[in-house]
Amino acid sequence: GGAAMAAVQDVEIDPEGTFKYILVRLQRPGGEEQRDIVRGTKAAEFHNHIFEKVNPEMEKLGYECKCLGGGKIDHNSKDKKIRVFGLSTGYGKADHSVTVEILKKVYTDYEITWSDDKK
């Protein structure tokens, strides 16, 4: 139940730079329990590369994954700022305001903003 879901990190993003990210909803098959997580990395050329990595990891833990959309994250660890923007061609635009709330749980002392800007 809750323990396994709690073991999944809310956020896994690169410590620095600008990169693609996706917002993913985890759900227990047939269950009410669900939560949203943020994943992003420079290693991903396309948004689906991130999903293709996350999905099997989460299936092993017994979750169904759904990509709620994507965008980009600009992570400036020196100034403690994160900017969320852009969209995913394949998945559409994530609700960046939701992404920001999730990021705030982890990066508590950061200034975190979002916009619909493309770059």
Reduced to 3 states (helix: H, G, I; strand: E, B; else coil), residue 107 is coil
Contact 12, 2 (CB under 8 A): no
Kindly name the residue from 47, 49, 75, 96 that is annotated as catalytic.
47
Residue positions forming the annotated binding site: 20
Report the binding-site residues for substrate. Answer: 20
**Interatomic CA distance for residues 51 and 67, integer angstroms:** 7
- The number of C-alpha atoms within 13 Å of 37 and in the hemisphere containing its C-beta is 23
47 is catalytic: yes
Nearest in space to 8 (alpha carbons), one of 39, 32, 40: 39
Please list the active-site residues. Answer: 47
